[in-house]
Amino acid sequence: MKKGLVMCRTGMGSSLMLKIKLEKIIQENNFPLELEHDVLSGFLGHHPDVIITMSDLVDEFKDSGCYVIGIKDIMDVDYMTQELKKFFEQSNEEK
């Protein structure tokens, strides 16, 4: 099971909304991924395999060593599904 972290800048609800959307995608596609969400400043308390955040925050995680997915539109389910598939394809190649 992989661990995912949904991050937002201030904790005003965008990461929780994104997490809810992603959990539906994860369930529908049977992705082996557990999600947590937190604010940007809470990153150091987590050890995720993948970080999912809004696209304007992607650069904040460039040196994290984690796979990072930047989301432009939390309503774009097709894009999020495609990006999660890419993450799992890369994870499988690394084995």
List pLDDT tens digits, range 41-79: 777 778 899 999 999 989 988 888 899 999 999 899 999
CB 34 within 8 A of CB 4: yes
CATH dotted code for 2-93: 3.40.50.2300
CB 68 within 8 A of CB 55: no
Q: Hey, what are 48's tokens?
A: 């995720």
Segment 18-33, tens digit of pLDDT: 999 999 999 999 999 9
- Biggest CA-to-CA distance, the chain: 37
Q: How far from chain centre, in Å, is Cα 54?
A: 9
Residue 76 DSSP one-character state? -
Bridge partners of 40, per DSSP, are none
pTM greater than the 0.85 cutoff: yes
Dist. CA 71–CA 58, nearest whole Å: 9
Cα-based angle 34, 40, 45 (whole degrees, multiple of 5): 60
